[in-house]
Amino acid sequence: MRLIRQIVFHARLNEAQPAIIFAGGIASYGTMVRAMAAAAEVIDRLDLPKGTMVMLDVINPFHHCTLMLTLGLMGISTASVSSAFSVEHSGVLPSLLLTDRPNAVLGQVPVIQIDDRWFAADAAQPVDYASLLARPGFADPSEIVRCVYTSGTTGFPKCVALSAAVLEARVLNWMLTTPTQFPGGSGLNMLGFSTVLGIIAPLLSLPFGEALCFANGNVEALQMIRTFKVEALSLMVGQLQGFLQVLGSAPPPPSLRIVVVGGSRIAPGMLRAARAKLCSNIAFGYGSTEMGNITGGSGDSLERAEGSAGYVRPWVEMQVVDANGNEVPRGADGIIRVRSPEMAAYAGDSPDPVETIRDGWFYPGDVGQLHADGLVVIVSRTTEIINRGGVVVAPEFIEEVLRRDPQVRDVAVVGVPVNGIEEIWAGVVSDNAVDAPAMGARAYASLNEKTPNRILRIDAVPRNENGKVKRAELRELLVARVAG
């Protein structure tokens, strides 16, 4: 990809400039390209064939970012694991797992343990930039650069394949419509490497000389913003809620010039608090892993109406239709569908029973309104998919994991709105008292961030005559149980 080569080119001109800032220290552009050159030599010895997809499960953000860029420079596609459960249920497994975690396992996928020696280079020796820039990369724009495992649209795990052409289009379109790059400055990305922004953030920042910060939690993020005068912050709605709690009554960080929020709708109260306490320039993008950004909104446009998601991006075509595919009048409720040059493809055979792409249109699974001026308002979901501040999952998959627990005789899961964020609540039928913390801890190994917020014992799961969970009734039951 041209953008990765541009990172190497920038490093050649500005080796002493900070590139990656994290809890372990500050890595300059010179340090980063030396680490890339060292890692490339190690990877060469693995003799990976063309078409290999390498999964990264690397805690150290500098090492993770370096491997991601190095493999891209070598023409090897990558993905980053969020949970083994999502990967294994997607139907698409990588050829190799590189990890710095002890005893990491991903089904039958071969595992190689990495350590600091992969990135060791003599700082006194000049970098062979010519050799780095001569790496093959992805010559064909249709080649797959990055795979993202997601359950974002329907809640069922899928593998979305991003080609070089689609990925570069997303980066360049983002730059044109959401200016978050401040050359010589710094940005902080709180979205994990397993998301689309996991690779877009480095490709937005590093080619243009911006330092990219990574933080472990909200407290460290706030410290980094103040210490390194961060100008752009990217995070999910759920993370924004926690960030505002950490900030408390302290004054807003004076360096922040833009805060980009994604993942789910921002509650009006949270939006007002963010603009008042954090940064007046709040940007929100409604989109998906499959489509990239569909809309863009600033603080003022987001406050126009409950559920406002901003305006349709210039390169996106959106329609709001009825159940028969006929467009509804402007401002009326209907099913959202979109198409765009940024649309990615699914890799492998997705097990998802919900059809999301029909006749060239992508259906995000939302009911909304498209107003005459291009403003989009999200009204509701077309399914029972849970969106916990940007973490999206089908309740059936959480139920599948909880059902493995020996205490569970039956289980059902719903989303429950709490302070503007949809939480995951599970109702469990058990012959004995339920140890909710222990059950949650056991489920976390498979679910990670999709682990329920609450696990409550109930007498029976409400179901209809066909055995389908009556989720509205379950939600009322669980809320009443907590209130009582």
Instruction: Say which CATH number the domain at 347 has.
Output: 3.40.50.12780
Instruction: Tell me: do 371 and 290 sit in the same domain.
Output: yes
Does 99 lie in the same domain as 27? yes
Q: How many domains is the chain built from?
A: 2
- Of 114-128, 214-228, 286-300, 386-400, the range with the lowest mean pLDDT is 386-400
Task: Decide if pLDDT at 1 tops 80.
Answer: no
Q: What is the pLDDT of residue 350?
A: 55
Closest CA to 363 of 373, 374, 354, 371: 354
Q: Looking at residue 147, what is its pLDDT?
A: 94
Q: What is the mean pLDDT of residues 268-297?
A: 90
Does 400 lie in the same domain as 320?
no
430 domain-assigned: yes
Instruction: Tell me: do 375 and 398 sit in the same domain.
Output: no
Is 142 inside a domain boundary?
Answer: yes
Q: Do both 337 and 287 map to the same domain? A: yes
More confident residue, 9 or 350: 9
CB atoms within 10 A of CB 130: 8
Q: Mind giving me the DSSP string for 53-74? A: EEEEE-S-HHHHHHHHHHHHHT
| Shared domain check, 338 and 248 | yes
Q: Give the mean pLDDT of 231-259.
A: 91
- Is residue 330 scored above 60 in pLDDT? yes
| CA separation for the pair 11, 35 (Å, rounded) | 12
Residue 17 is predicted with a pLDDT of: 95
**Residue 115 resides in a domain:** yes
Average pLDDT over residues 440-469: 86
* 450 and 302 both lie in a single domain: no
Q: Which residues pair with 463 in a beta bridge?
A: 469
Residue 126 located in a structural domain: yes
Asked whether residue 63 is domain-assigned, the answer is yes
In this predicted structure, the answer to whether residue 353 has a pLDDT above a threshold of 60 is no
Q: What is the mean pLDDT of residues 39-56?
A: 94
**117 token code pair:** 């020696």
Looking at residue 329, its pLDDT comes to 96
- In the chain, the percentage of residues whose pLDDT exceeds 70 is 96
* 357 assigned to some structural domain: yes
Q: What is the rounded average pLDDT of the residues 153-168? A: 85
pLDDT bucket at 238, cuts 50 / 70 / 90: confident
Give the CATH number, domain containing residue 402: 3.30.300.30
Within this chain, do residues 401 and 464 fall inside the same structural domain, yes or no? yes
| Total count of residues recorded for the chain | 484
Separation CA 206–CA 227 (nearest Å): 20
Secondary structure class of 245 (helix, strand, coil): helix
The reported pLDDT for the residue numbered 327 is 96
Instruction: Identify the domain containing residue 456 by its residue range.
Output: 394-483
| Helices (H) then strands (E): counts for the chain | 14, 29
179, part of any domain:
yes
Same domain (yes/no): 314, 370: yes
The overall pTM is greater than 0.75: yes
* Domain end among 353, 380, 407: 380
Q: Please give the DSSP secondary-structure letter assigned to residue 16.
A: T
Give per-residue pLDDT as tens, 208-223: 899 999 999 999 999 9
At 87-107, the pLDDT tens digits run 877 888 999 999 999 988 888
Q: Are 278 and 256 in contact (CB under 8 A)?
A: yes
**Percentage of the residues of the chain whose pLDDT score is greater than 90:** 62
Looking at residue 71, its pLDDT comes to 97
432, 373: one domain? no
Residue 79, pLDDT above cutoff 70:
yes
Q: Which of 331, 355, 380 is the last residue of a domain?
A: 380
With cut-offs at 50, 70 and 90, classify the pLDDT of residue 351. low
In a domain? residue 83: yes
The reply to whether 366 and 411 lie within a common domain is: no
Which residue, of 380, 410, 429, is where some domain finishes?
Answer: 380
Say whether both 339 and 421 belong to one domain: no
Average pLDDT, the chain: 90
- How confident is the model at residue 468, as a pLDDT? 73
